[in-house]
Amino acid sequence: MFGAIFCAIKFMMDVMVSSWIRELNGACRASQAVDLFPSICPEIIVRDARVEDCWEVADTHCSSFFPNYTFPIDLVLRIDRFIALLSGFSVPPGSRRTCLVAVTDASGTDNLYIGSKDFKIGIFDGKFNLSRESVAGILTVDTLADYLPRKGPLRQKRTGIAYISNVAVRNADRRKGIAKLLIAKAEARALSWGCRSIALHCDVNNAAATRLYKGQGFKVIKVPDNSRWPQPKIAPNLQFYFMMKLLNSKVNI
């Protein structure tokens, strides 16, 4: 376990260095200076997050949801998220959860993996990949049903409905269809888990996200006043749309 965490931290440092190089590369191009690095138009691939993605997942999350924080708070937030992701929390038997990442892949798909298939660290696959990819977008999908409105008492959770959360795309990679790709993959995953529909909450003031989900076929569902759902603790005063979409196996697979 500690060996794995050590490896993850090493990968994190690796990823930070490569992202600095990427930023330098971008800055060179932006200033029309001599382009020392070949310009790449990498393909986007959506896959399950792996341990080596952990720092970039935390960074994508914090830069998207807390864009106005500066040093040192921004670093503390990232470290906190990084540790939370790595330590994870257990998923009850029968429930599923995965973090999907959209990565720019400059190396093709012939990657070399180290680690066994079923090895998990936190929310991540415990496999290391020796290729160089960078995370452009993230999404979590689960069947925990923690945030789904209940018909009866709070402990009586709904079943057969997958739940999407933490959708975020790095600022520089927005409006390229990455969120749409992530949602399509989440829907396919939910179907493979046997779910008949998929749901999410979206801040009513988040026009971009609301348009995204409506464009992908989600409908705003009126939650009956007497139905019970646990309001996320981090945002007690926010108003949310509860949005749902029926999954169609012919379309989604």
Ligand X SMILES: CC(=O)SCCNC(=O)CCNC(=O)[C@H](O)C(C)(C)COP(=O)(O)OP(=O)(O)OC[C@H]1O[C@@H](n2cnc3c(N)ncnc32)[C@H](O)[C@@H]1OP(=O)(O)O
For the CB of residue 141, give the shortest distance to ligand X in the complex, in Å: 10
- 213 belongs to the catalytic site: yes
Helix (H) or strand (E) holding 198: strand 197-203
Piece of the chain touching ligand X by CB under 6 A; list 121-129, 143-151, 160-168, 221-229: 160-168
H-helix or E-strand containing 163? strand 161-169
Q: How many CB atoms within 10 Å of residue 93?
A: 5
Q: Are strands 197-203 and 161-169 parallel, antiparallel or unpaired?
A: parallel
Query: Which residue is catalytic, options 69, 113, 147, 213?
Result: 213
Q: Is 63 in the site for ligand X (CB under 6 A)?
A: no
In the complex, least distance from residue 13 CB atom to ligand X, rounded to whole angstroms: 25
SS3 107: coil
Residue from 18, 63, 111, 166 binding ligand X (CB under 6 A): 166
| Alpha helix stretches (DSSP H) within 158-199 | 178-192
Phi, then psi, of 238 in degrees rounded to 5: -75, 150
Which residues in the 75-94 window bind ligand X by CB under 6 A?
none
Among 47, 176, 196, 228, binds ligand X (CB under 6 A): 176
Q: Which residues bind ligand X (CB under 6 A)?
A: 64-65, 137, 164-169, 174-180, 200, 202, 206-209, 211-212, 215
Q: Which residues are catalytic?
A: 213
